[in-house]
Structure formats: structure tokens, C-alpha cells
Amino acid sequence: MASPLRYSNDMSQDFDPQPGPAETPLQQIAEEIRQHGRFLVTSHARPDGDAVGSTLAMGSILHRLGKEVDMVLADPVPQVYRTLPGIARIRQARQVDASAYDAAIILECDGTLRTGLTGLDGMRLLNIDHHLTGIHFGTLNWIDPEASAVAAMVFEVAIALGVDVTPAIATCLYTALMTDTGSFTYPGTSADTFTLAHALIDLGAKADSVARDVLYSVPACRIQLLGRALSRIRIEQGVAWSWITQDDLAEFKATDEDSEGTVNYLISIAGVEAAVFLRETNGGPVGFRTSLRSKSSVDVSAVASRLGGGGHRNAAGCTLEGSFDASVARVLTAMYEEIERAAAAGTVC
């Protein structure tokens, strides 16, 4: 059922921060932010648009409140997000010094491990996440699987704290929202999503510029790599799957991030219920970063969780260790079982 609209383009008057006898997680997080001065903001390793945009927006919100802010991501910001306002303020590091902060705000993660950072242990952790597989690992936890992106939750933090959402913040949040909803097409896309998009555009985000910077600025090697992946598609029992090796990446002078999004082409095929895309990992033991997608109610977050990952009902991922053949067998077996389970429940035609 659709939830009541939570955003308005005149938010200062219309936003209702859900008053009630008990403090909501949002109110607790807002209070925690008011009471402390030095914050680390981070998100998951291999950051996507929601991770980057929401980190930047949260950093700016804290900055506008006069807080000391350090934005740190374990992996490089993907090329397409490097035009976002304030991007140079994100630091890439694998380790942080807990004593430098009063608290860490962790966006989009199911545990500290997923940040790719060490040094977070013992810190006050404010966990803000929208994954179905979200875990209460923080000191404070706000997990809202109804939110179409963590950006929607960061927006609510800004409103709860009375921070003006500047055009720069709106641009970061809009980028996060657009990318995390697959340009407003994934199943989590709701009336709330469009109301928030409306509000962000009113506040200065430029939909056409963001689309140009993010969707229409793809390096040529990425398209060549996509061609390789598409040429290998297998379709078996309603599952489309393909893969890319490190040799493929080397051949096209592409990097790991250049295969992101390939899985969306696999799930776009008519008659396919689920898609699996494997990318050989770089260095270390043989393994595969694996992206899962589904249509209808095949729950790929359940498949990913069984294999040590997580995500959303229709978009999830995990890392498989082991040979190509063993990895493919594990993930396809788990996927077929989930499809059978969904079919038995009568949710897949």
C-alpha cells in the first residue's frame, strides 16, 4: 500500500516529522547530530550513486550546521559522479581514526565490514539504511525499506534539523534518487519518489544535467565491455546470466566499475524473471562479484543473503569465492530454488 506522501516542495511548512509519544529513529538521529560536533560520514565499498550522493548531501548538511565533517569512502568515486558539487571533499581511505570523531554516520550498510573501512569499532555509529536486509548494527539505527533511496532519508534528516536544502545538496540527493531507482523505474518507485524528485528539482536540482552527467557520459570501453557480456548471455529456466573476466577488462582497458549496470540489460529481456551477472574479482583468491536482479516477487535479497551478501527484493549482490564453474553453479542453484519457492507461493507466472 502506498504510504502517505512524505515530502512537499514547501517542506518547511508541510513536513511532519512523525510526532508521537516515542522518539522515532529519525528524531533520535537528529538529536544525536545536534549534540555532537565531529562526524565521519561514510557508505559502502564500491560506492554507487546513492552512496556517493547521500554521503555528499549528509556531509553538506552537517557542514551547514557548523559541524566538523570528514567524508570517507573506501573505494574511488565512479567517474560519472565526479562532477557532483563538493566531490573533492570526499577522501578515499581504508582506515579511519576513531578518536578524531564523536560519531560516524554510516549510510547504506549492513555492518561496518561493508564500509570497507577499519577503525570504526568502538565508535558511536548512526546507521541509516533502506535495505530489506538491513541490520541493527549501530548505536542508533534507522532502517526504512520503503525509502526508494537512502537519499530520501538524508533529505528527512535535513528537514528534521531545519537545514536549508541548497541546489548543491538537492543535486546530490536527486542523483542518488535517480540512480537508485533505475531512473525511476524499479519496483520501489512510488508516489513518494516522484514527490521527492519534484521537491529536489524545485530546490535547484537540474534533471537534464544530472542525466547528461550520469547516464550519457559513459566511457567507450564500458560499451565495448558490455558488448562482450551481452555476447555471452545464457538464458536458462527464466534466468539470464553472463560474466566478465579480468582478461576482458584488460583487453578493453576497462576497470571493475565499468561492468556496473550490465545486469540491468540481462533483466530487461522479455520472459526472463531473474538475472545474474558475475565479474571476476581483482587480486586475491579466485572469486566473483555477483549482481542479482529480478522482476515480480522473486526475492533476490534472499538469494544474496544465503550467499553472504544482501540487498533489496529486486536488486541484490554478493561476492562468491571459488572457481567460475563452482560460483555459477552455486548462484544459479540458489536462484532456481528461490524461483521455485516463489512459483509455489503463486507469485511468479
The CA distances from residue 329 to 208, 302, 323, in Å, are 42, 17, 10
239 to 268: interface string for ligand 5GP, x by CB under 6 A: ------------------------x-----
Stretch that binds Mn ion, among 69-77, 142-150, 156-164, 273-281 (CB under 5 A): 142-150
User: Is residue 50 involved in binding Mn ion (CB under 5 A)?
Assistant: yes
Q: Does 315 bind ligand 5GP (CB under 6 A)?
A: yes
Tell me the closest approach of the beta carbon of residue 48 to Mn ion, in angstroms: 7
Q: Which residues pair with 70 in a beta bridge?
A: 40
Neighbours of 31 (CB within 10 A): 14
Q: Does 129 bind Mn ion (CB under 5 A)?
A: no
Q: Rule CB under 5 A: which of 318-347 touch Mn ion?
A: none
| Binding to ligand 5GP, residues 286-305 (CB under 6 A) | 291
Which of the ranges 83-91, 184-192, 267-275, 316-324 carries the binding residues for ligand 5GP, by CB under 6 A? 316-324
CA distances from 229 to 10, 241, 262, 314 (A): 46, 9, 8, 21
Q: Shortest approach of Mn ion to residue 344 CB, angstroms?
A: 30
The interface with Mn ion within residues 147-176 (CB under 5 A) comprises: 149-150
> Is 197 an interacting residue with respect to ligand 5GP (CB under 6 A)?
no
Q: Which does 317 bind (CB under 5 to 8 A by kind): Mn ion, ligand 5GP, none?
A: ligand 5GP
110 interacts with, out of ligand 5GP, Mn ion, none, CB within 5 to 8 A per kind: ligand 5GP
In the complex, the residues that contact Mn ion under the rule CB under 5 A are 50, 149-150, 180
